[in-house]
Amino acid sequence: PRVGEIIGGRHSSFAAGSSSSTTALPCQLLGMNAAHPTSFSFSFRGFARRGGITDVHSDGWGLAFYEGRGLRTFHDSASASESVVARMVEEYPVKTVNMLAHIRYATAGEVCLENVHPFQREMWGIIWCFAHNGDVPLFKSKLKTAHAWIGDVPGERIYSPVGDTDSEAIFCALLNALKAKFETLPSLPVLHDYINKLCKEIVSEYPDETILNFLLGCGRYIQFAYSWPGARPGSTVWNGLYYIVREPPFTEAHLSDMDYAVDFSEMNTDEDRVAIIATKPLTLNEEWVEIEKGELILFDQGIPHKVPEECFKIEFLGHGLDSDVMLAPKLEEDMRRYQFERSYYEGIGI
């Protein structure tokens, strides 16, 4: 068994009444990235209870995880705490190294299936997946063709929202900007650098009013997490993004939304490692790290990479963008651009 599997756990459920006055989190996010195929059922079990039992995020939920180049998705406009599909996912005997999930509290857009995250699109022969929470005034226009263009290269609006959320509009804007920018597949350091610039552009228009937290899956191995946190008007509830890396020595973890615990030391090896990303910490007895304001992190094998230069190591492992329809990135040119020291990649065989 790998990190995250529910074996020998204990559970007694409870209901904590909640109302819209007790939360100011538009939605909540959950991500998992692991070194080996891993079950996400422990984290999802607690996360789903926030969809109507321990919190009010009951306007739909979704989950997506990668299987090879494919993406398996589950979406429901019903609350996660009541959804039959969510109960099935909790017990679903599946493992993956890359997963994103979302529970929705509708502040923009109708309560309907097309507005349920995570959203997905194909670009460069890769399935991209996106989940977001926050408020982004730059993308609040009800006219889909009027959404802002971002990036330093003009291009065609190939990707358009299906629903009416600012979240899907942001996702489409990011993909359109990347599509316009790159004629060949970017290396992960270059991709990290440019996505970070796009995020800065989005928040710079309304820095005090904008709350932008998202997870972006880029294929079977990797996902980005970005946070521009804040509190909504009239609220003191902080809307940010946190993560924890579970690795040896493993310990017991207790969910914060229900009486349920798992001792990970009983089911893992020294080779296991998993990162969990969430809007609010999911456990009571672990130290979660808050992603800093304006910070973009690329997760691979459960390891957070915070600057472009660190992402070369992911390329050396063969975990870069995987496409059969785009020319591969020129790593040596990019290493010279970032003045990456040769000692880091001697013997790698590139």
Catalytic residues: 27
8 A C-beta contact, residue 47 and residue 101: yes
8 A C-beta contact, residue 56 and residue 92: no
Helix (H) or strand (E) holding 191: helix 188-205
Side chain identity at residue 11, one-letter code? H
DSSP 287-306: --EEPPTTEEEEEETTEEE-
HSE of 122, CA atoms in CB hemisphere, 13 A: 8
Rg of the chain's alpha carbons, rounded to an integer?
20
8 A C-beta contact, residue 285 and residue 40: no
8 A C-beta contact, residue 238 and residue 231: yes
Q: Please count the residues of the chain.
A: 350
Nearest by Cα to 24 from 258, 230, 210: 230
